[in-house]
Amino acid sequence: MIREEAEAAGRTSLRHTGQGIRFYSDDEIEVVEGPKSLRCVVPAKAGVSRVFAEVPMGDSASFWRPSSGYELRMPPDWSGRSDVSGILRAPFGVLHDHDGISTVGIGVQPAEAAVSLRYGVSEESMTFVVEFTLPASEVERSLVFDVRGGDLFQAVARLREATRSRRAHAISPWAAEPVYSTWYAFHEAMDDASIVDEGRLARELGFGTLFLDYGWQRFGDSRYFDGCGDWVPDTVKFPDLAATVRTLQSTGLGVVLWVAPLLIGARSELFNRLGADATVYNPNLRAHVLDPRRVEVREHVVETCLRLVQEFGVDGLKIDFIDAASAYALAGDVETHDAIAEALVDMLAAVRAGLDDLGHPELLIEYREPYIGLALAGSGDVIRAEDCPGDFIANRRSTLDLRVLGTGQLVHSDMMMWDPALPMATVSALLSNATFSVPQLSMRLGSMSEDQRSAIASWLSAWRATSRLALHGRLTQLRPHLHYPSATAIDGDEALSVVWSADTVLAVPLEVRHATVVNGTRSTRVGVQLARGGTVLTVDHRGAEVLAGSVAGRCFIEIPVGGRAHFTLD
C-alpha cells in the first residue's frame, strides 16, 4: 500500500544494491553507504519532507520499537502508525529475527527530530516498508539504516551512537532507590497520619523514597482532575505538608511530590486566569490541558515546580501528563507535534535549570511512558513504565524496552500491586518482572502480616544486592516478540538473569564466572546451559538456603518459585 502510493506519486527511486533497500522521495535525497550501514540524507526544506524505504523482510519475527505496548509488532503497512517527537516516543526501530538478532536497525538523526511514521509488511511486495514524514527544517537530517546484526541491545546502542543522542545532566542519587508509592495503595484517600505510618514501615522494609501521588492537593477528592491547577495542599488531609515531608525525611526516605502542571480544572482558581490558554478538554481526565506553546503557560509551569520544591522541601517531582499536550496536534500532524515538543523541552529544561540555580541539582524528576523522547533525557532522572496495575508482563516488557532504549535516565517499573491473598513466593516471582528497573510498589503495608512484610524486605534486599547489574549491565538473550521470556545483564564476568518462561533453557554466557538466576516462573525446575562446570547454591524467596552442589553442561536446577540460584563457575 505505502509502496504503491510512493510509486503512484512518481517519487524518485534509488536502490542500494548491497542490501537491497529501495528509497522513494520527492526530495533530492542522497544515499551514503558505509561498510555495514547507510544514511539517507534528507535536505533542509521549507516544507514537509517524505521518504519511503523498502527493506527485504527475510526471516524477520518482529519490528521492535519502544513504548509499542501490546500492538502488533509486524503489522500490515496500512496499520502501523506512530508520531514521534523530541518528547513523545523515540525514533528507533529494529527489525529482528526469532532469536532477537537485528536484521536492520532504523533511526533518525538528530534523534530529537519529530517524525511521523507509517510502517509494516507490504502485502503486495512481501517486504517491510517505512514511510518517514519530517517537518520543515533549516538543517539536513539523516535516516540511518544499520545492518551489522548483533543482538537488540547492541543494535539500539549503535543507533544511539549514529544519531548522536546524549545525556548531560547527572542522575539524582534518589533515582536508584526503591520506591514506595501512595497511588494504588491510597488513591485520593490519604492523610498525614496514614502516610507517615506507611512511610516508616516502608523505610524499615528497605524502600529509599516515598512518592506522594495524586490526592495531596486541594480538590484531589476523586479519581478525576477537574480541581487541578492551583497546587496547594488539602489542609484537611495535610494541615502542614512541609512538616509531613520533614517527618518522612527524618526516617531516611526521600520524598517526591506528584504534580500535573499542564492540567487545569474548572474548580481551580487558576482557571479564571489561564483558562483561555487551555482550549483542549480531555473528557477522560475531566480537565483542560494548558498549551505549552504559550509563554505564560511555560512560565506558570516553571514557577509552580520551583515553588513546590521551595515551599515543601521535597526531594523530587513526579511531573505527570506531559503527553496530554499532544492533543493539540492531529495524528500525522508532524509540524504541530514538533512545535509542541520544542515548547515542552524548553519548559522542562527551564524547570531543571531553575532547580539547579536554587541549589538542588540532586533533586529527582520523574517522567513516564509515552513521553520518553530523547530531547527530555537531559532534564529528567527517571523514566517510568506506563500505568499497568496488575499486568506484570506489561511491566516487564516496558521496563526492558526502556532499558534497551537507553536514554541515560534510570528506568523505573510502574507501581506494582497484587492480590493480598497470594502466597509470598508467588508475589516474589511477580516482582521479578521489574528486576531490570528500579522497583516501585504500592500496597498498604500496614494491612499486611509480619510474614508478608518480611518477604518484601527480603525481596528488596536481594534486588539491591544485584542492582548494579540490573540497572547498568549489558542486556542480552532478549526475545521481545515473545514479551521477553528471559533476560540477562552482564558486566565483566558477572551476570544476572531472570527466567519467566518454564520452557526456556537459559544459556549462561561463556565469559561469566559468577551468575545469579532468578526463577520468575511457577515451576521449580529451571533449565540452564553452562559452558563450564562449577557449583550452585539455591535459595528461596526469603533468601534461605535450599541446596548446594556441583553442576556442569545442560542441567535442570531446582529453584523455588520466586527464589534464585547463585553459580560460581570454573
Distance CA 74, CA 98 (A): 12
Last residue of a domain, one of 467, 492, 527: 467
Check whether 18 has a pLDDT greater than 80.
no
Nearest partner of 366 among 112, 113, 88, 172, judged by Cα: 172
Which H or E run includes 375? none
| Mean pLDDT of all residues belonging to the chain | 93
- Cis ω before 110 (30° cut-off from 0): yes
Q: Alpha helices, DSSP H only, in 33-178? A: 152-162
244 and 129 fall within a common domain: no
- Whether 170 is covered by a domain: the verdict is no
462 and 490 fall within a common domain: no
Check whether 91 has a pLDDT greater than 70.
yes
490 and 449 fall within a common domain: no
Residue 14 confidence class, pLDDT cut points 50, 70, 90: low
What was the pLDDT predicted at 69?
78
Check whether 17 has a pLDDT greater than 60.
no
Distance CA 145, CA 265 (A): 45
Residue 390, SS3 per DSSP: coil
Residue 270, SS3 per DSSP: helix
Nearest partner of 190 among 175, 210, 205, 207, judged by Cα: 210
Check whether 168 has a pLDDT greater than 90.
no
pLDDT digits over 323-362, tens only?
Answer: 999 999 998 999 999 999 999 999 999 999 999 999 999 9
Q: What is the 3-state secondary structure (H, E, C) of 466-530?
A: CHHHHHHCEEECCCHHHCCCEEEEEECCEEEEEECCCCCEEECCCCCCEEEEEECCCCCEEEEEC
As given in the structure block, the three cell numbers for residue 109 are 538523526
- Cis ω before 239 (30° cut-off from 0): no
- Whether 462 is covered by a domain: the verdict is yes
Residue 453, SS3 per DSSP: helix
> How many CB atoms are closer than 10 A to CB 369?
22
Residue 359 neighbours by CB under 8 Å, 6+ apart = none
Domain limits at 254?
A: 176-467
Query: Model pTM?
Result: 0.95
Nearest partner of 390 among 423, 433, 451, 424, judged by Cα: 433
Distance CA 366, CA 420 (A): 28
463 and 485 fall within a common domain: no
* Contact yes or no for 285/264 (Cβ under 8 A): no
Burial class (CB within 10 angstroms; exposed 0-12, middle 13-18, buried 19+) of 176: buried
DSSP for 282-347, please give it.
ETTTTEEE--TTSHHHHHHHHHHHHHHHHHH--SEEEE--GGGGGGGS-TT-HHHHHHHHHHHHHH
Beta-bridged to residue 31, according to DSSP, are: 40
439 and 548 fall within a common domain: no
* Contact yes or no for 344/325 (Cβ under 8 A): yes
- Whether 168 is covered by a domain: the verdict is no
- Whether 227 is covered by a domain: the verdict is yes
Mean pLDDT across the stretch 20-34?
A: 87
Distance CA 315, CA 328 (A): 32
What was the pLDDT predicted at 112?
86
Last residue of a domain, one of 105, 129, 162: 162
- Whether 451 is covered by a domain: the verdict is yes
Residue 28 confidence class, pLDDT cut points 50, 70, 90: confident
As given in the structure block, the three cell numbers for residue 448 are 499486611
26 and 117 fall within a common domain: yes
Q: In this prediction, what percent of the chain has a pLDDT beyond 90? A: 85
pLDDT digits over 359-385, tens only?
Answer: 999 999 999 999 999 899 889 999 999
86 and 184 fall within a common domain: no
Last residue of a domain, one of 421, 450, 467: 467
Distance CA 361, CA 170 (A): 8
360 and 211 fall within a common domain: yes
Check whether 173 has a pLDDT greater than 90.
yes
- Whether 447 is covered by a domain: the verdict is yes
What was the pLDDT predicted at 163?
78
* Contact yes or no for 549/543 (Cβ under 8 A): no
pLDDT digits over 468-519, tens only?
Answer: 999 999 999 999 999 999 999 999 999 999 999 999 999 999 999 999 999 9
Check whether 388 has a pLDDT greater than 90.
yes
- Whether 429 is covered by a domain: the verdict is yes
Check whether 15 has a pLDDT greater than 70.
no
What was the pLDDT predicted at 19?
75
As given in the structure block, the three cell numbers for residue 131 are 514511510
Mean pLDDT across the stretch 171-197?
A: 97
Check whether 557 has a pLDDT greater than 80.
yes
pLDDT digits over 424-451, tens only?
Answer: 999 999 999 999 999 999 999 999 999 9
Does 26 or 564 have the greater pLDDT score? Answer: 564
DSSP for 173-224, please give it.
GGGGS-EEESHHHHTT---HHHHHHHHHHHHHHT--EEEE-TTSBTT--SSS
What was the pLDDT predicted at 380?
95
Mean pLDDT across the stretch 209-237?
A: 96
Distance CA 483, CA 466 (A): 22
State the CATH number of the domain containing residue 86. 2.60.40
As given in the structure block, the three cell numbers for residue 139 are 538543517
62 and 208 fall within a common domain: no
* Contact yes or no for 232/308 (Cβ under 8 A): no
Residue 36 confidence class, pLDDT cut points 50, 70, 90: confident
> How many CB atoms are closer than 10 A to CB 58?
12
218 and 182 fall within a common domain: yes
- Whether 96 is covered by a domain: the verdict is yes
182 and 148 fall within a common domain: no
367 and 450 fall within a common domain: yes
pLDDT digits over 537-552, tens only?
Answer: 999 999 999 999 999 9
Check whether 284 has a pLDDT greater than 90.
yes
> How many CB atoms are closer than 10 A to CB 543?
15
Check whether 9 has a pLDDT greater than 80.
no
Count of structural domains, the chain: 3
What was the pLDDT predicted at 35?
77
